């Protein structure tokens, strides 16, 4: 096996998932709070659009490498209208459609990053960023955050992490795994910082943009300084906002020159993304997305309330912060009473995430993702997509464990 692939990590979630599946097969009740996708079908109008494209030959043939032009234009308009940026700032931008947000982010990084380049990543992070950076020969430079600050990075810490080798910074707001988005004030400060660092490209992973369930909705640095769009890549897709993780459509909006380069790369790695789904998206009315997501967001708001109430009722509110968006909550296990049972002493800085999550699965039948996967030791990610009643039961079991 190549050194390149040998050096990337396996998904640590797999071991726990295997165990959870085995327990369910043995007839045990398992509450799965690991999932990274909504538990709903996509919008019926979108499903209808897919159906109506089924009879066309074009739906089964190669699409242009960067995607159908009408859909690319539509996605660009969707983004600038939804993010409230005036059209003229998008004049020099283009769009490349690929097989999912992950695929698209990997192509962006492969296009930008040379061996030895640094890419700033905020911890906790989406698990694939560091591995993708590694695959490009780059170095991930981490900026840590804490639950006390609702996982918002300090601008001072970001500033300190910028070096002459910094090629890019990845900003993921709304955030996986923290389930928060950064404030407008933060975005304003970040915009000013980036204005001063003109060699740094901003990769804004906005895949959860539509899934904010508490106001104010997410805003971005380019709302304050639209000129930053000349070195920004906006990355998104339909996996989350249309509950279509399996349809594999993602896209990026970036300066034209960068899009041509990404497209050149994509012409050799994948060709154009699914023609059928692209055609369906071209005829689907994106304005329907907020209505489609309304009940889903209502449920997330209820589940976020359950997290708060259950942690408060067990007196473990020290690890609570207000989740706002995406569908996750990051549980800082080091702030809970049970943690004392794992650490040897105050100087013990080992990461017990996996061990604690294994114990939670075995003793409570609740599967969580250990925080190790996200670069945040002694924590676990809770996915909040389960229906209210099973979610409440699962949370109570977890909270009882935390005080045991
Ligand atoms: N970015 C973040 C932060 C994610 O959480 C995910 C998926 O979970 C992706 C990108 C990639 O999404 P997909 O490849 O399913 O479009």
Global pTM reads 0.96
Give the residue, out of 37, 207, 248, with the most ligand 1 atoms within 8 A of its beta carbon, to mutate for a pocket test. 207
User: Is ligand 1 within 6 A of the CB of residue 108?
Assistant: no
Name the closest-CA residue to atom 12, ligand 1: 101
User: Is ligand 1 within 6 A of the CB of residue 377?
Assistant: no
Smallest CA-to-CA distance from 357 within 144, 374, 208 is with 374
pLDDT of 15 reads 74
Q: What SS3 string covers the chain?
A: CCHHHHCCCCCCHHHHHHHHHHHHHCCCCCEECCCCCCCCCCCHHHHHHHHHCCCCHHHHCCCCCCCCHHHHHHHHHHHHHHCCCCHHHHCCEEEEEECCHHHHHHHHHHHHCCCCCEEEEEECCCCHHHHHHHHCCCEEEEEECCHHHCCCCCHHHHHHHCCCCEEEEEEECCCCCCCCCCCHHHHHHHHHHHHCCCCCEEEEECCCHHHECCCCCCCCHHHHCHHHHHHEEEEEECCCCCCCHHHCCEEEEEEHHHHHHHHHHHHHHCCCCCHHHHHHHHHCCHHHHHHHHHHHHHHHHHHHHHHHHHHHHCCCHHHCCCCCECCEEEEEHHHCHHHHHCCCCCCCCCCCHHHHHHHHHHHHCEECEEHHHHCCCCEEEEECCCCHHHHHHHHHHHHHHHCC
Ligand 1 atom nearest to CA at 126: 3
Give the rounded distance of the alpha carbon of 76 from its chain centre.
20
User: Is ligand 1 within 6 A of the CB of residue 128?
Assistant: no
Name the closest-CA residue to atom 5, ligand 1: 176
Ligand 1 atom nearest to CA at 103: 14
Q: Is the dihedral of CA 190, 192, 193, 199 positive or negative?
A: positive
- The token pair at 228 is 């930053």
pLDDT of 21 reads 85
pLDDT of 165 reads 98
- What pLDDT tens digit does each residue of the chain (404 aa) get? 999 999 888 766 667 778 888 898 999 999 999 988 999 999 999 999 999 999 999 999 999 999 999 999 999 999 999 999 998 988 999 999 999 999 999 999 999 999 999 999 999 999 999 999 999 999 999 999 999 999 999 999 999 999 999 999 999 999 999 999 999 999 999 999 999 999 999 999 999 999 999 999 999 999 999 999 999 999 999 999 999 999 999 999 999 999 999 999 999 999 999 999 999 999 999 999 999 999 999 999 999 999 999 999 999 889 999 999 999 999 999 999 999 999 988 888 899 999 999 999 999 999 999 999 899 999 999 999 999 999 999 999 999 999 99
User: Is ligand 1 within 6 A of the CB of residue 207?
Assistant: yes
Residue 151, preceding peptide bond in cis (omega within 30° of 0)? no
Smallest CA-to-CA distance from 290 within 241, 334, 330 is with 241
Ligand 1 atom nearest to CA at 101: 16
Q: How far is the CA of 102 from the centre of ligand 1 (A)?
A: 6
User: Is ligand 1 within 6 A of the CB of residue 240?
Assistant: no
pLDDT of 13 reads 64
pLDDT of 344 reads 86
Q: How far is the CA of 49 from the centre of ligand 1 (A)?
A: 23
User: Is ligand 1 within 6 A of the CB of residue 226?
Assistant: no
User: Is ligand 1 within 6 A of the CB of residue 206?
Assistant: no
User: Is ligand 1 within 6 A of the CB of residue 124?
Assistant: no
Q: How far is the CA of 299 from the centre of ligand 1 (A)?
A: 21
Q: How far is the CA of 207 from the centre of ligand 1 (A)?
A: 6
- The token pair at 257 is 């020159």
Name the closest-CA residue to atom 8, ligand 1: 36
Residue in the block written with tokens 């659009």: 49
Cβ(1)–Cβ(7) below 8 Å: no
Give the residue, out of 240, 248, 369, 384, with the most ligand 1 atoms within 8 A of its beta carbon, to mutate for a pocket test. 240
pLDDT of 35 reads 86
């Amino acid at each position: 096996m190549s050194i390149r692939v040998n050096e990337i990590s396996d998904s640590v979630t797999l071991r726990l998932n295997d165990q959870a599946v085995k327990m369910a097969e043995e007839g045990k009740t398992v509450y799965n709070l690991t999932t990274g996708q909504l538990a709903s079908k996509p919008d019926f109008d979108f499903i209808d659009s897919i159906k109506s494209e089924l009879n066309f030959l074009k739906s089964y043939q190669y699409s242009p490498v960067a995607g159908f032009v009408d859909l690319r234009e539509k996605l660009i308009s969707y983004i600038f209208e939804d993010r409230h940026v005036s059209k003229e700032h998008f004049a020099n931008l283009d769009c490349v459609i690929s097989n999912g947000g992950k695929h698209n982010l990997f192509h962006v990084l492969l296009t930008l990053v040379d061996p030895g380049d640094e890419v700033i990543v905020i911890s906790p992070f989406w698990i694939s960023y560091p591995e993708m950076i590694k695959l490009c020969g780059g170095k991930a430079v981490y900026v840590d955050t804490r639950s006390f600050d609702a996982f918002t990075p300090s601008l001072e810490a970001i500033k300190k992490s910028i070096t002459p080798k910094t090629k890019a910074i990845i900003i993921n707001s709304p955030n996986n795994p923290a389930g928060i988005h950064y404030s407008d004030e933060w975005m304003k400060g970040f915009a000013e910082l980036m204005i001063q660092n003109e060699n740094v490209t901003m990769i804004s992973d906005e895949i959860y943009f539509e899934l904010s369930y508490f106001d104010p909705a997410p805003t971005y640095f380019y709302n304050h300084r639209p000129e930053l769009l000349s070195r920004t890549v906006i990355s998104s897709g339909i996996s989350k906002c249309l509950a279509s993780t399996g349809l594999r459509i993602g896209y990026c909006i970036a300066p034209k020159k960068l899009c041509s380069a990404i497209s050149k790369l994509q012409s050799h790695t994948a060709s154009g993304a699914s023609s059928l789904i692209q055609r369906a998206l071209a005829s689907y009315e994106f304005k329907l997305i907020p209505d489609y997501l309304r009940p889903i967001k209502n449920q997330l708001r209820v589940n976020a309330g359950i997290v708060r109430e259950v942690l408060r009722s067990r007196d473990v509110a020290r690890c609570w912060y207000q989740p706002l968006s995406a569908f996750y909550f990051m549980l800082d296990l080091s702030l809970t009473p049970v943690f004392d049972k794992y650490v040897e002493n105050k100087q013990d800085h080992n990461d017990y995430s996996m061990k604690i999550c294994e114990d939670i699965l075995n003793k409570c039948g609740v599967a969580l993702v250990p925080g190790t996967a996200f670069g945040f030791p002694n924590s676990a990610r809770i996915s909040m997509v389960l229906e209210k009643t099973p979610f409440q039961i699962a949370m109570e079991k977890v909270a009882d464990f935390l005080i045991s």
